Each structure stands twice: as structure tokens, then as C-alpha cells.
Amino acid sequence: MTHQLMAGERPTPLATRHLIHRPRPAIHSTEERFTLAGEMPSGHPLFNDGPGEVHDPLLFVAVARQVGEFVGRRYLRVPLDRRYRFTGVAFTMTAPGAWRIGAGTAPMTMDIRVAPAAPCGGIPGTLCLNATMEIDGTAAGTGRADLAMRAPDAYDRHRSPVPSWSGTRPAPADPHAVGRSDPRNVVVSRPDGTGDTLRTELLIADLLDHGAHPVFVAEPGGPVPAILLVEAVRQTSMLLATRTRGFGAPHTCVTRASVRFPADATLDLPLTCTAEVVGGGPGPDGKPAAHLRATVAQLGSVVAEAEVTLTHAV
């Protein structure tokens, strides 16, 4: 079944969107299969913000969240009032060259397997999405996303009564140093630290104020969006790789990332991201690569932990 996504229910920032529901792999399987077809973004205020050499892999996080929510509600009977929360997301560029931006539009297809689990009353409590991605006919990447669906009051039950933070707003990092052009897409402060370790603060107040950002949007009363935490990890890792490995930010891209979210991050308390270099050398395609580990913490509790590979001159 092919579904033409209409206004108000479009689940991705792709230019055109068709979601094709595939037959189940086996009669008794609970797994659902889909193919998402569209074009890579062009002129998007976040996903096309930067030097314009490589498509932004952060797109996968947005697609996974929005397709997971769409499929859960339309095909798996997940109630409309459920909140979707990432517990983990991972992505690998299997052909970094396919991500280079060329002339004209770039068609994209993503084959997605959605496996529901942890049912309660016949309604899944979690979704696992596994995806393979092609850009312009070339196998370009693989990814996985794990989503948990919470009842309306579950987030409030997980929150601790803590006072709001009213500290000094840190100075943002230079946009070009983190691979962006628009200052509104900078999510971390100027870095602190020496050697192979670096620390930044997240600019939560600026980004989430009045819901002005097109992508970094928090649900009312909800936690800090996972996609913002992933971007904070990317930008902090970029600052460290350019300082310690001599990479140029305009020519550097995340080619592999695995991020876990062990806890929620509240909107009204400071967050810090710490990154350290754990390895280097040539990547699978022979280009210089840096392997980093990063954590995002709030009041001493880890809310995101990641392993990231940055490749220079993708």
C-alpha cells in the first residue's frame, strides 16, 4: 500500500514523501515493513545549513522519530496522547561519497523495519526501527532507532522536583567551527578544556525559547529533544577534532554515531557535553578519521552517551 502523506501528517523534512507499506516478512511476524521515498532536503534551515558539501546525517534522527511516531499511530494503534522518547539511535555512512551534494535534486529511499515490543493491553510500549538508506541509487547508510512510548503523565513521574536554573548565559561557539553557517543553529558554547578532552555547555534557553527553531522543538512539559542532544554531541566532537587532529570543520562529517539516552534532560537546568578522543587513523575509505566518546550530563547524571567517528574530507 502506498500512502501519499498529506499536509499536517508529513513525517519527514524530505522534499517529497511517499510511504509504502510492505507485506510482513512472515505470517506470524509482528514486524511491519515500509519504504520511504523522497528527495534529500534542499534549502532547509538546519539540514542544509553549512558549507554545502555533504548531506546532513542528522536527517536520519528526524526521519526515525517522525516516521516512528507516524507508523505507531496509523498502523500499530498507539494512542494519540502517547509521548515518543528516544532510548537509543545509531547511524553509519556505508558509502560516504554518496552523501556529497551534487547538482540538482538527490532522490532518497529508506527501507524501514518497525518491530513493536513491550505490549500493554495490545498496545506496544516500544518500537525498534532498523533502516537501510539509498541516495541516488547508491547504498549510503544504515541506522537503528529505539523509541519508547509513554503515557501522558509518565514524564512527570520521572522528573525530580528541582529548582529552575537562572545562571549566566554562555557565549555560543563560532558557527563555522561547528560546521554551521547560521548562528541560530549553534547549540553549544565556546569550549573549555585542554589536550584530548573538551567541554561545552548547551544553549537550551536560546534554542527552545518560544518554539522558534524549526527542528529543535520541545513538547510542552516534556524533556529536551533527543535530536538537540545528538547535535550537541556532534558540534562538541567537531570542536575537539578540529583542535586536536587539525580537521577543517567545513570538510568534516560524522560518518558513524551511536547514542544512548539513559535518562531525560529537563528544560530548566544546565547541561554540559564532554568529549574525548579515543582513537584515530584512516577510516574504512582511507580518509583521516577521529574516534571520540562524548557524554551529556545534567546535575551529575548522564542523559546521553555517544561514540562518534568524524571523517575529514568526506
pLDDT digits (tens, 9 = 90+) for 118-149: 877 778 899 999 999 999 999 999 999 999 99
Question: Per-residue confidence at 178, pLDDT binned at 50, 70, 90?
Answer: very high
More confident residue, 150 or 112: 112
Best CA proximity match to 216, nearest among 232, 239, 236, 234: 232
CA distances 129 to 57, 220, 255, Å, are: 16, 26, 19
Beta-carbon count within 10 A of 130 CB: 17
Residue 24 DSSP symbol: P
Domains of the chain: 2-151 (3.10.129.10), 165-312 (3.10.129.10)
Best CA proximity match to 306, nearest among 296, 61, 151, 154: 296
Over residues 203-242, the pLDDT tens digits come to 987 666 656 788 898 877 789 999 999 999 999 999 999 9
Distance CA 231, CA 273 (A): 11
The share of the chain scoring above pLDDT 90, in percent, equals 55
Predicted pLDDT at 16: 57
Q: Is the pLDDT of residue 177 over 70?
A: yes
CA distances 284 to 5, 96, 190, Å, are: 37, 10, 31
Q: Is the dihedral of CA 56, 61, 67, 69 positive or negative?
A: negative
The x, y and z cell numbers of residue 232, run together, are 550537541
Over residues 217-226, the pLDDT tens digits come to 887 778 999 9
Q: Is the pLDDT of residue 200 over 90?
A: yes
Distance CA 223, CA 232 (A): 15
Average pLDDT over residues 258-282: 93
